Amino acid sequence: MTGRRVARIVAVSVLATTLTAVAATPAVAKTKTRSYSSGPINAPIPDGSFPLLGGGGVGTAIHDLRAKKGKVKDVNVSVRITHSYDRDLELWLMSPARTIVKLALRRGGTGDDYGSGAPDCTGAQTVLDDQAPTALADAAAPFAGSFRPDQPLSALNGSQGKGTWSLFVIDSAAPDTGMLHCWGLTIASKAKKR
């Protein structure tokens, strides 16, 4: 066999191996991540806005954010709340498709606040993220850092992100009061193919 023929056989063999490796490599899905913030809103959380037997009540602070287009692959929620008795609070998120996720249901015991530092968007916020190592239920107030919510946010995956997202902060008992200072969303969605 001539040297030229051997070189050609080796080149064809290398090309076939390279093509096989490329064909076997799965395509990587492109992801686009957008963050939305309420900015400083300082909305009071009503304390027991209507009376219930036994002296309790329910008060709700509701705030909306508008998100742009994209099919949700992952969503995280951040909040900065001051409140003098966290166990009074419930946090719920409603997507544009009106799917509701329970973020926190009366967590933190007698502790204060969600997040720490400045009572605005610059303070350390509580981030609710399905991939966080610790569940909110296993953590202590003021929950500065990332925690898994009471219900998985993955329930929103596959839905359209465009539209109005609503955060409900419910105070279910008197007399402690609080304020929603800031909240935000981080939405990862599939990027459009070009």
The better pLDDT of the pair 11, 99 is held by 99
The CATH topology of domain 31-190 is Jelly Rolls (2.60.120)
Q: What is the pLDDT of residues 34-89, one digit of tens each?
A: 999 999 999 999 886 445 544 444 578 889 999 988 899 999 999 999 999 999 99
The better pLDDT of the pair 175, 10 is held by 175
Domain range summary for the chain, segments of one domain joined by + = 31-190
Q: In this model, does residue 185 exceed pLDDT 90?
A: yes
Residues β-bridged to residue 194: none
User: What Rg, from alpha-carbon coordinates, does the chain have?
Assistant: 24
Cα three-residue angle 30-34-39, rounded to 5 degrees: 175
pLDDT reported for residue 46 = 85
Q: How far apart are CA 134 and CA 130, in angstroms?
A: 9
Token reading at 74: 């992952």
